[in-house]
Amino acid sequence: MKALVTGGGGFVGEHLVKALLSRGDSVRLLARGDYPALAALGAETRQGDVRDASAVARATEGIDVVFHVAAKAGGWGSARDFESINVTGTENVIAACRASGTESLVYTSSPSVVHAHRDIEGADESLPYATQFTAHYPRTKALAEQLVRKASSPGLRTMALRPHLIWGPGDRHLLPRLVARANAGRLRQVGSRDVLTDTIYIDSCVDAHLKAAKALHVNAGLSGRVYFVSDDSPVGLWTMAGRMLAAVGARPIGAPIPSGLAYAVGATLEAVHGAFGLAREPLMTRFAASQLSHAQWFDIGAAKRDLAYVPRITIEEGLARLASASRAALHPR
């Protein structure tokens, strides 16, 4: 098939592009940067921004399936940036799909769209969207996901996936931030509980996207649906973070701080950063404090049933691969 990957230069996007190419698909990627290594593998690279409707329209011409991965992530930033990239960008992708006659659209969403500042344990897709958000990221991802679901029609099949804590070699967001803070002595456990959480190894995340596209192609009745996907092995959040840090040789996590204190500190730092117009993300935010102190694991039975999704890599194997990649980076041949 002919596939377009928005955000094709990012962690998930790059791995998705490589997986599509490896099985013989024709792949085009739309990203703000230039990625000659992916072009050398056979991908058609287009420089552009999802906020540019004309660039998105041109990139979508002649495409069978769009994997809309591009997004602005994080717990801090201006509402305008999050809305323009996550919401307007998604509107542009939907419009381009309709105009070009693209058959399917697979959207990379987030479980944070249902996070209501309480434990989530074994919930499925019937869980409602959160009604209050402490950050623009989950709010705009929820709006974008709903746009994708509502765009389902006889002419455009759509589906949204909700992977949680994507990890593995090549991660440029989650693990580097953990390592930087741990090595600086600024990473502390939030709360006294080692709350259970879902994770998903990068190869399994990519596989879920490929299976979603296949399922949409063969079964129009799945259009408009959303699915949680994970490693299907809930693990203690702080245990997992510690094992990832150990795999790459970083310093361990510091002593716990009360979750209520972390939330209050986050609120204070957000107010200070907002008052002084500081662009950098505060050391703690309300969103981070809540995410790090509440259980978040989900029933992925629907993905198993409808998408034939089964995690490809166990957590143990993933950690071994992470350690191997870290050693290779430190001691290149």
Q: Which residues pair with 189 in a beta bridge?
A: none
User: Is 137 among the residues known to form the active site?
Assistant: yes
CA distance 159 to 285: 31
The number of CA neighbours under 13 Å toward the Cβ of 4 is 31
Q: What's the token pair of residue 274?
A: 């907002």
Q: 8-39 burial, b for 16+ CB within 10 Å, e for fewer?
A: bbbbbbbbbbbbbbeeebbbbbbbeeebeebe
CB 60 within 8 A of CB 92: no
Q: Which of 35, 137, 263, 309 is labelled catalytic?
A: 137
Phi, psi (deg, nearest 5) at residue 65: -140, 135
**Residues with active-site annotation:** 137
